[in-house]
Amino acid sequence: MNEPVGGTGRFAPSPTGPLHFGSLLAAVASFLDARSSGARWLLRIENIDPPREVPGAAEEIVSLLERYGFEWDGAVRWQADSTAQHETALARLIEDNRAYPCGCSRRSLADQPQGPLGVIYPGTCRNGTTATEYAYRVRTTNDPIRYVDRLQGAQVSHLERESGDFVIKRRDGLVAYQLAVVVDDFLDNVTHVVRGIDLIDSTPRQIWLQRLLGYPTPQYAHIPIAVHPNGDKLSKLTGAPGLDPNAAGSNLSKALLALGQAVPDGLDRASPDEIWAHAIRHWNPDTMLGQQAVTAAPEDQR
């Protein structure tokens, strides 16, 4: 995997629950990718979805990352602070006729074919809607969107047939993740995105929005996701437990192992600073090339 020289990486958790082992892997990999190559590393809490937010989760995530010895450049970024810029980007897309209101309800689309992120939108409202409650969708085409993932290799998507025009502002008035993350990565000058492969299906949509808005496209590296020994993905939605704030050494060592790094005996008893010094020096992401899932040893939980 080619290494960034300078540049900016980030970790962008949503405060929908405490940090679990799966998100720790994204935090560790993005941090090491940045720190081993002299890039900046930012922490952005993606708190723009109040219905899904768990009270106290954001503060808990920040404090756990501190306990685990992560150091980010500058202050924590709060995605909710940039909602005005999200709206400006949306307004531009509407003005350029790249986005349009869509009054289709979930139920009215239920029988449509499904893509990796839900219904493939058939374009019903492309030429207008009389609905009084609506979302906004961005127009897509079948021109191939290609990029080379630093870990997963060459990727290609045809958005119109694989996802259809997708939602960038929800019916409930909230700007959708796809647009918010693109605007914030741009505002933060992010050049290197390292995150779980569960988000790889979103990447072509994000690249499409970057093109429409005239933003540069960062380099992407999608790391394998952690799965339970039975194969189920670890996630907040499947109730993955929060990490024990007092088990930094043990959980960081398990994360390094899951990310294919050599972990010397006794590292799990070292301090976070010692672990980071070792891990930054020895970071070798190529062990994860083409890998999509890793079975995680049981983590130390709260």
Residues at the contact surface with ligand GLU, assessed by CB under 6 A? 12-14, 46, 181, 195, 199
Rg (CA), the chain: 20
Least distance CB 96 / ligand GLU (angstroms) = 24
Residue 43 or 275 having the CB closest to ligand GLU: 43
Least distance CB 269 / ligand GLU (angstroms) = 30
Residue 181 or 258 having the CB closest to ligand GLU: 181
Least distance CB 284 / ligand GLU (angstroms) = 22
Residue 80 or 199 having the CB closest to ligand GLU: 199
Residue 30 or 261 having the CB closest to ligand GLU: 30
Residue 185 or 268 having the CB closest to ligand GLU: 185
Question: Which residue reads 């899932």 in tokens?
Answer: 293
Residue 202 or 261 having the CB closest to ligand GLU: 202
Print the SS3 string covering 29-97.
HHHHHHHCCCCEEEEEECCCCHHHCCCCHHHHHHHHHHHCCCCCCCCCEEHHHHHHHHHHHHHHHHHCC
Least distance CB 19 / ligand GLU (angstroms) = 10
Print the SS3 string covering 187-256.
HCCCCEEEEEHHHHHHHHHHHHHHHHHCCCCCEEEEECEEECCCCCECCCCCCCCCECCCCHHHHHHHHH
Least distance CB 16 / ligand GLU (angstroms) = 7
Which token pair is 125? 């409202």
Alpha carbons 113 and 243: distance in angstroms, whole number = 38
Residue 137 or 195 having the CB closest to ligand GLU: 195
Residue type, 245: P
Which token pair is 212? 């429409």
Least distance CB 113 / ligand GLU (angstroms) = 25
Q: Taken in order 196, 207, 150, 114, is the CA torsion positive or negative?
A: positive
Least distance CB 268 / ligand GLU (angstroms) = 26
Return the DSSP state at 3: P
Q: Taken in order 25, 30, 32, 33, is the CA torsion positive or negative?
A: positive
